[in-house]
């Protein structure tokens, strides 16, 4: 990140039904369960692939919360009504201008609009509290469900990136979705 006053989202990010908040060691069981579900991980380039790597991933995310200068926020997603952890998401400020979002949700919570609710909250925080001028996300080319979520959150398809990254022993093709601050503001009017 280029120098300048630190920016950070005000946490938790709250929506009608969700609370996006810092992860904690108490999340370990749910976190391991999320990353142990192949229905969730099959379209994910990065992230844990077994129990031990899920445990390490959570511990590293908690350590990163203490960084003096932070540019990534890896958050737990809980149901506001019950406090149950049902997902995880992240918001990264790559430069002073560009932010990236990512998310996942427990399978029992799919198709109830939670994915969109979470993505909208992340985009809102990126343009609002983080002052980004562009928000992007990449989505594996067969992940139609997530592409739909990005579309509903206001991001638009900008292209396909072939052999974008080598992860989990194979090359991945992804779609790039993004929205500029101007387009986001126009759509909200």
Maximal C-alpha separation, the chain: 47
- Which residue, 131 or 140, has its beta carbon nearer to ligand COA? 140
Nearer to ligand COA, 23 or 139 (CB): 139
The alpha-helical segments, DSSP class H, found in the chain are 28-35, 38-41, 51-64, 114-127, 144-152, 181-188
Task: Please report whether residue 111 would count as binding ligand COA according to CB under 6 A.
Answer: yes
Map residues 83-102 to x or -, x wherever contact with ligand COA holds by CB under 6 A.
-------------------x
d(CA 135, CA 17) in angstroms, rounded, equals 23
Q: How many residues of this chain interact with ligand COA, rule: CB under 6 A?
A: 21
* CA–CA dist 82, 127 (Å, integer): 29
Looking at the Cβ atoms of 116 and 133, the one nearer to ligand COA is 116
Q: Based on the shown chain and the rule CB under 6 A, indicate whether residue 65 belongs to the binding site for ligand COA.
A: no
Should residue 180 be labelled a site residue for ligand COA when binding is judged by CB under 6 A? no
**Cα–Cα distances in Å, from 22 out to 115, 132, 139, 179?**
18, 21, 24, 25
Cα–chain-centroid distance for residue 155? Answer: 14
d(CA 37, CA 56): 17
Phi-psi region of 47 (alpha: psi -120 to 50; beta: other; left: phi over 0): left
143 binds ligand COA (CB under 6 A): yes
Token readout for 149 is 């979520």
Q: Which is nearer to ligand COA, 142 or 182 (CB)?
A: 142
Identify the residue among 18, 75, 149, 178 touching ligand COA (CB under 6 A): 149
Residues in region 16-45 near ligand COA by CB under 6 A: 40, 43-44
Task: Tell me whether residue 110 or residue 157 sits nearer to ligand COA (CB atom).
Answer: 110
**Piece of 55-63, 77-85, 113-121, 157-165 that binds ligand COA (CB under 6 A):** 113-121
Interacting residues with ligand COA (CB under 6 A): 40, 43-44, 102-105, 110-116, 139, 143-146, 148-149
């Amino acid at each position: 990140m280029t120098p300048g006053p630190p920016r950070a989202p005000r946490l938790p990010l709250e929506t009608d039904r969700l609370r996006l908040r810092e992860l904690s060691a108490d999340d370990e069981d749910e976190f391991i369960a999320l990353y142990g579900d192949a229905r969730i991980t099959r379209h994910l380039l990065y992230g844990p692939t077994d129990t031990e790597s899920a445990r390490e991933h959570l511990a590293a995310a908690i350590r990163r919360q203490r960084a003096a200068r932070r540019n990534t926020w890896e958050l737990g997603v809980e149901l506001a009504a019950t406090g149950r952890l049902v997902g995880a998401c992240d918001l990264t400020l790559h430069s002073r201008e560009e932010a990236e979002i990512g998310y996942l949700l427990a399978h029992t919570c799919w198709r109830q609009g939670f994915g969109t609710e979470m993505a909208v909250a992340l985009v809102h925080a990126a343009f609002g509290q983080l002052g980004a001028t562009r928000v992007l996300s990449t989505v594996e080319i067969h992940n139609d469900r997530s592409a739909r979520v990005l579309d509903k959150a206001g991001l638009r398809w900008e292209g396909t990136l072939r052999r974008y990254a080598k992860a989990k022993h194979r090359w991945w093709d992804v779609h790039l979705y993004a929205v500029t601050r101007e387009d986001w503001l126009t759509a909200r009017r």
